Structure 1
């Protein structure tokens, strides 16, 4: 009898132990309903306050998409609700989903090394002040190059020599662009810009073509953009312009060709440069009303002016995508470079690029990937990137979760920074990782 009682007690304790373990484990599991309610609430508030006209959001892990929702409209006319096939201008998310992914592939194939130098690969930079900058420095933004150069502004002038922009609105400066007003008498440099097609000229907007001779001045400006802060963190678009040139010089292929190889292997088709070549205008969300350079509401062409100068294919920007396509890339990265059993990237390369190699110097940055100093929103192993147009994606290998938020907050103007003031994306990221 004692043996039976002891056995029952043992079984009961074992059951209770298992049950307690299950309850403990369930606390760490993802509560879809609770998180969906939170996201719905955040989105309702954001749309009511005008953070952006609409958005796509996906939450998932390395095995599955857990939440996938669309909100609002493509723009404030509210004629076209956001749908899953719509693609957004990713802006600086292109840095990792384009040039960085290709670099990871090439490093894994031993075709390039992170110690390779700009001047050794790209002839135009040989014997220039930036010749010995390496892939590592460019991808970690420790090259010492200035943040950006407004190349396109040298294509513009005024007949009376007045400034292109003014802080004050007037008859001469009637239209707002960001926080400045635009001179109404702007003239385009006919030596470099044409509003009709010309042989061998590069299309940079639907009605604008650029003389490729202009690139000589662009490369010269980049080669002298050193700020003598090498080794310190300065986030710079120029770094990824150089990464693009280096990988193209090394492979003999263009960046859009190299990225398409990876996307094809992943089976994703709603991602790429120059979206009107692979989707319809109706499936592209509009970005900003550009009263300055293109005199139009940008739709189907890249918002970033530097990427536009390069025909929409650039290392710093240019990619368009829907959230679903990006979710596949997130799953591949969380699976150590594999997707559906196929190795896309080497696991060792994924780990190297998504770690923080310079934290001893107080630099919280991966190779290409954005990382943050741990705070109330971000953890040490988080990695991802954001985009100027209002885009965000981050992953956490510890919680095995990712979040993608695509918006066009710059529609109709980039002055709308409400989503940043509210820490909108960071709050949702914190929520799904709790």
Structure 2
């Protein structure tokens, strides 16, 4: 009996030793120097070519961070170098790091189901054309809703009824916005917009407040936006606007409250909506010079106009973060929802949301998460998301790797799409997975 006990204990110690050795040496299977040299080269070249002013890059696995580096400057003026504590506008990465994470938490707690319908959860949509849409359809972008609606443009007009934008530059249309030129005589709808604070109005920019009555027209437009066949994949911001409405209706709490509960449990503080409430403006990356709606270089407020309309807290965009905070979320997801011994998300839910449930139909999408058809860059189990402002994060659960690249490529203008022409992010992702 003693001999048998000794063998069991000995075997356990050997196993523990191997396991401990594997964790301590997990970094050895990743060639830090080779990958760092490659990333340095890619980022230096990108900044020299004007892909973006600067960036934060982080590479790691569920146990450790292998590479954490900052490159370039906060903006195109090149006055201030990028720092660890600087936060970037995540744009559509917010879809998964905000509303989707909260949904995962609620599904794991049986407080919401993927079969729940919009009209049942949110009274406003009960008798509308989108009442039967399910949470599953919203998260997989198979709801049939159109890609987006420029809600904010209905707040703008011109005195003579001439178009807001023109494809040709002229004396009447002098300033560039994306690929169009802006009418110099734009006026704002004073019934819905104010440039001084008003009681119960929503702040949408540093000098701009919105009448909440406007939301009725927003919801009416969404309710009639089902222009595509249901079941067809169409990536749409509207889907995540509705996910936000559903989870807030189910919980009685606002999205920023719900996300902050998760972030607090993870011990991360450089992530959240409306960054000027929790960090200084000097630590927020500037985004675009908006010659159209806000008439300013946007800094400290969300770039996305739809998220701005909702006071900076939205299901489609609105989050700001540094790479370090996102890395903790990556580690939690790669560790089946667990972080530092605490189960943040249900393990089965993590697996369910990060798979491609519609792959047989040629739809490579997780629940909320972006996935890609397997190719030379992406594997079948990879998952993550990108953002319009120039952000990217992806995870590979098979080899336990993650990559985070945060940039503000829209500074000073969104017309800068250089980083998309050469599979820039995908090449770095491929490199760290070799």
Aligned to 2:433: 433
Whether 2:243 is the aligned partner of 1:256: answer no
Stretches of structure 1 that go unaligned for 5 or more consecutive residues are 1-21
Q: CA deviation at 1:395?
A: 0.1
Give matches, 1:117-136, under 5 Å.
Answer: 117-136=117-136
Aligned to 1:150: 150
Aligned to 1:141: 141
State the alpha-carbon separation in 1 of the partners of residues 181 and 332 from structure 2.
Answer: 45
Stretches of structure 2 that go unaligned for 5 or more consecutive residues are 1-21
Q: CA deviation at 1:29?
A: 1.2
Whether 2:174 is the aligned partner of 1:174: answer yes
After superposition, give the CA deviation of every residue in 1:355-400 in whole Å (9 maximum; x if it has no partner): 0000011000000000000011101000000000000000000010
Aligned to 2:322: 322
Aligned length: 411
Give matches, 1:225-374, under 5 Å.
Answer: 225-374=225-374
SS at match of 2:154: helix
After TM superposition, the score normalised by the length of structure 2 is 0.94
Give matches, 1:378-417, under 5 Å.
Answer: 378-417=378-417
SS at match of 1:336: coil
State the alpha-carbon separation in 2 of the partners of residues 228 and 128 from structure 1.
Answer: 16
Moved over 2 A (4+): 25-28
State the alpha-carbon separation in 2 of the partners of residues 194 and 425 from structure 1.
Answer: 40
Aligned to 2:94: 94
Aligned to 1:112: 112
Q: CA deviation at 1:26?
A: 9.5
SS at match of 2:374: coil
Aligned to 2:5: none
State the alpha-carbon separation in 2 of the partners of residues 26 and 328 from structure 1.
Answer: 17
After TM superposition, the score normalised by the length of structure 1 is 0.94
Q: Is the 8 A contact 2:73 2:81 kept in 1?
A: yes
State the alpha-carbon separation in 2 of the partners of residues 44 and 187 from structure 1.
Answer: 42
Aligned to 1:45: 45
Aligned-pair RMSD on alpha carbons? 1.2
State the alpha-carbon separation in 2 of the partners of residues 106 and 292 from structure 1.
Answer: 38
Q: CA deviation at 1:422?
A: 1.7
State the alpha-carbon separation in 1 of the partners of residues 181 and 152 from structure 2.
Answer: 17
